[in-house]
Amino acid sequence: SRKVRITLKKVKKATKYQVQISKKKSFKKVLVSKTVKKVKFTFKSRKLSGKTLYVRARAIAYVKKTKISGKWSKVKKVKITGK
């Protein structure tokens, strides 16, 4: 399995962050989608193969039990090196 370490910028009032990883910039097929509470974390998955991956994230906040999602971030290109 491969690891991808991700660090996000903290967003005020955000309680969670949704992160997606894909092989294509358009995100038509998402390899991994995960909701996390921390801004620094590591993805570990066998699906993370290939030389280049694309990552995007968005903040999630809850206001009176209503889920509010922010806009997706700009797509970040990640090059995979080593094993």
| pLDDT in single tens digits along all 83 residues of the chain | 678 889 999 999 999 999 999 999 999 999 889 999 999 998 888 887 778 899 999 999 999 989 999 999 999 998 876 55
Amino acid occupying residue 59: A
**Can you give the pTM of this predicted structure?**
0.86
- Please give the Cα distance from 15 to 56 (Å, whole number): 17
- Please give the Cα distance from 46 to 27 (Å, whole number): 18
